[in-house]
Amino acid sequence: MSTHAPVARVNGLVKDFRIPGGRVLRAVDGVSFEVGRGETLGLVGESGSGKSTVARMLIRLDRPTAGSVEFEGADITALRGAALRRQVRRRMAMVFQSSSTSLNPYQRVGEVLAEPLRVHRVGEAGARGRAVETMMERVGLDPAFAGRYPRELSGGQRQRVGIARALMLDPSLIVADEPTASLDVSVQAQVVNLLQDLQRDLGLSYLFITHDLGLVRHLSHRVAVMYLGRLVEVGDTAQVFAEPAHPYAAMLVSMRRQAEHRILPAGEIPSPIDRPSGCVFRSRCPIAQARCERDVPPLVEIAPGRRAACHFPGELRPGGTDAPVHVPAAPPLVAPLTSQKGR
Amino acid sequence: MIGYIVRRLLLVALVACGVTTLLFVLARLSGDPAELLSPPEAPPEVVEATRIRLGLDAPLAVQYAKALASSFTLDFGQSFAFHQPAAQMVFQRLAPSLWIVVPSIVLSVLLSFAIGVAAALRPSRLSGRLLMAGTFLTGSVPYFWLALLLVLLFAVNLGWLPATGGEGFTSLVIPVTALTVAAVSTSARLARGQLLDSFGEGYVLTARSKGVAPWRVLLGHALPGALPPMLAWLGIEFSFLFSALLVLEPLLGYNGLGALLIRSVANQDFPLVQASVFCMAMLITLVNIGMDVIVRLVDPRLRTKAAT
């Protein structure tokens, strides 16, 4: 996918959290990437690697400690109030991980979906109602569900509501934070297919956060790998999965290979309060050397469109070949939908 | 919903019987009112005559049945000490008490909501911390001591307010202030805590990501989730305020239900004790049921399919 006209770009994002005892936890440390128009960028990493914090800074729910966020050509890092609502909230939307907690239990589905239009004063009440109905059909929900409360819906249906809500204002970028993590496998496939169909039809860009490697391989055009608050590798998905440059990426992609080719990292991910000096991955890296303890490896271009933060890129190579790309088995679920309950 | 309310009202009848039973047992354990009402050197026949006049000679079972029946007829008999129908006396004293309780509730709700919201919006800033420290301080002051201080300052030294509960608006200022201060601290802390919990909910983040204005996020998204515990607390607070009247009214010479109850207990005036406690218990129960019903109305998660 084209990356010459990115829809969003983050530069040197840093997020510090103050923790008890006057210490500082650096959750995100100098992350830079861009999301191209119509592109899906997969952001992968272990729990605690800072993926969600990056997403929340990109969508301006968290304020970066340092660095900048550009969106649709404008610097949105310091926007506030009305400008923030107009330039960011209207144009960028988030799909959250847990569909059960991200929907207000006191709002009916119809109100959940109409609220973005109402707060941004889009259309009058009748038009909003029709827009809600159209969008519900678009994501494969029976419009009759508009009068229901979120708890009366299944997990998959709720996540469709979450997606529909994100789409109500016709955004250019959707930030999806593990949108399928709380769903059953078969429902996951339906939601992923829905996201892909919507991208194709509406020209959406996605920042897709997940730790599901199969999903990233299937869904994203490019992939960015995070480890302990830093980006360690960015590149074309197929290339990264075929020939990872960073040892951590190599370990991740080796998980999709035959058992004998898997490279298991030593130990646990260190605490972000107590990060290793030099390269943050060195404490678990099988090819770490003295230099890795001293020098922080910068994220540099090692091939066109390919960046890695390692002093010895490409030296750790998993054997075998990448597993075939997983194609979800579920039938594509685009409206009109036949199998919803309550029809 | 109707079924729910009916079930809750049946519970009221149960509470009425329970309260009556408890009072009956405690009253009989507390001594012999006939002796108390007779002159100290009265001969046994006089005491016996008094006992018969008060109806205390009947078998306990009959007395108990009468007491139970009185909870439903609301006829509690004549006061031993005042020779007036007990129910009527209680009814007359209820209004002055409500004049203290209701303004205290209204004021404390408004104040604690304002303080809670203000503190929840800036939990880590100095102003938010100061607000919470303030409520902690006022919460640690006993209300009766505060009332005495207020009397000392505004009645004795400055002469702005009457020292004792006479008639009129000015005599309400001191008891209402003391009770409001006492009630505000806990509910303000509760409001802040509930709102902060609510701010942490995923759907509040969702609302922010939609671009909902901050005050709308607060009122439209965070508040509904925070409201049920706050409403339930209001019912509990109501009973706290009534119990505080038992101390405050005699202290301030205020002629309300609290003072009446304290006096009738001292007199072993069974009908009056029964009538006043019954009245308070019913009020508290009904208010709490009212809160339960409101909580159910505002919270769709508690509504069952059949009930909606």
The ipTM value here is: 0.72
Residue at B203 is within a domain = yes
Residue at B107 is within a domain = yes
Confidence of residue B165 (pLDDT cuts 50, 70, 90): low
Domain that holds residue B220: 98-273
Residue at B138 is within a domain = yes
Which SS3 state, helix, strand or coil, does residue A80 take?
Answer: coil
Gap from B120 CA to chain A (nearest CA, Å): 18
Number of neighbours of residue A233 by Cβ within 10 angstroms = 28
* Percent share of chain B, pLDDT over 90: 17
Residue at B61 is within a domain = no
- List chain A residues with CB under 8 Å of B207: 104, 115
- For the cut 90, the answer to whether the pLDDT of residue A211 exceeds it is no
- For the cut 60, the answer to whether the pLDDT of residue B102 exceeds it is yes
Residue A71 touches partner B, C-beta closer than 8 Å? no
Contact B255, B233 (CB under 8 A): no
Q: Indicate yes or no: CB of A116 within 8 angstroms of CB of B210.
A: yes
B197-221: pLDDT as tens digits: 888 888 888 888 888 888 888 888 8
- List chain A residues with CB under 8 Å of B228: none
Cα separation, B167 vs B182, in Å, equals 24
Q: Averaged over A173-183, what is the pLDDT? A: 88
Q: Indicate yes or no: CB of B202 within 8 angstroms of CB of A102.
A: yes
B116-136: pLDDT as tens digits: 888 888 877 888 888 888 888
Q: Indicate yes or no: CB of A88 within 8 angstroms of CB of B213.
A: no
- Cis bond before residue A336 (omega within 30° of 0): yes
Residue at B102 is within a domain = yes
Return the DSSP state at A276. P
Give the closest of A94, A103, A151 to B209, CB-based: A94
Q: Indicate yes or no: CB of A61 within 8 angstroms of CB of B208.
A: yes
- Tell me whether residue A298 is exposed, middle or buried, using C-beta atoms within 10 angstroms of its C-beta: 0 to 12, 13 to 18, 19 or more: exposed
Q: Indicate yes or no: CB of A149 within 8 angstroms of CB of B298.
A: no
Contact A283, A276 (CB under 8 A): yes
Residue at B68 is within a domain = no
- For the cut 90, the answer to whether the pLDDT of residue A146 exceeds it is yes
- List chain B residues with CB under 8 Å of A106: 224-225, 298-300
Break chain A into its structural domains and give their ranges.
1-91+173-185+204-343, 101-170
Contact B127, B203 (CB under 8 A): no
Closest chain A CA to residue B298 = A106
Cα separation, A47 vs A33, in Å, equals 20
Number of independent structural domains in chain B: 1
b/e string for B51-61 if b means 16 or more Cβ within 10 A?
A: beebebeeeee
B226-243: pLDDT as tens digits: 888 888 899 899 999 999
- List chain B residues with CB under 8 Å of A59: 209
Confidence of residue A222 (pLDDT cuts 50, 70, 90): very high
**Scanning the structure block, which residue is given the tokens 């991980």?**
A97
| A282 bridge partner residues | none
- For the cut 60, the answer to whether the pLDDT of residue A343 exceeds it is no
b/e string for B226-235 if b means 16 or more Cβ within 10 A?
A: bbbebbbbbb
A265-278: pLDDT as tens digits: 777 888 888 888 89
List phi, psi (to 5°) of A29: -130, 90
Which string of DSSP letters, residue by residue, matches B211-258? T--HHHIIIIIIHHHHHHHHHHHHHHHHHHHHHHHHHHHHHHT--SHH
List phi, psi (to 5°) of A321: -130, 155
A62-76: pLDDT as tens digits: 899 999 999 998 999
CATH class of A1-91+173-185+204-343: alpha beta
Which SS3 state, helix, strand or coil, does residue A232 take?
Answer: strand
Helices (H), chain A: 51-58, 81-84, 109-119, 125-138, 155-167, 185-202, 213-219, 237-242, 247-254, 290-294
- For the cut 70, the answer to whether the pLDDT of residue A339 exceeds it is no
C-alpha torsion A242→A243→A245→A250, nearest 10: 60
Cα separation, B291 vs B288, in Å, equals 5
B interface toward A at CB cutoff 8 Å? 201-213, 216, 221, 224-225, 298-301
Query: pLDDT averaged over chain B?
Result: 85
Confidence of residue B37 (pLDDT cuts 50, 70, 90): confident
- Tell me whether residue A208 is exposed, middle or buried, using C-beta atoms within 10 angstroms of its C-beta: 0 to 12, 13 to 18, 19 or more: buried
Confidence of residue A133 (pLDDT cuts 50, 70, 90): very high
Tokens found for residue B178 = 């003391």
**Alpha-carbon dihedral sign for residues B23, B25, B30, B32:** positive
List phi, psi (to 5°) of A252: -60, -50
Residue A149 touches partner B, C-beta closer than 8 Å? yes
Tokens found for residue B168 = 């009129």
pLDDT of res. A3: 44
Which residues make Cβ contacts (< 8 Å) with residue A178, sequence separation at least 6? A97, A209, A210, A211
pLDDT of res. B271: 85
Number of neighbours of residue B25 by Cβ within 10 angstroms = 12
pLDDT of res. A327: 54
Question: Which stretches does DSSP call E strand in chain B?
Answer: none
Return the DSSP state at A159. H
- List chain A residues with CB under 8 Å of B208: 61
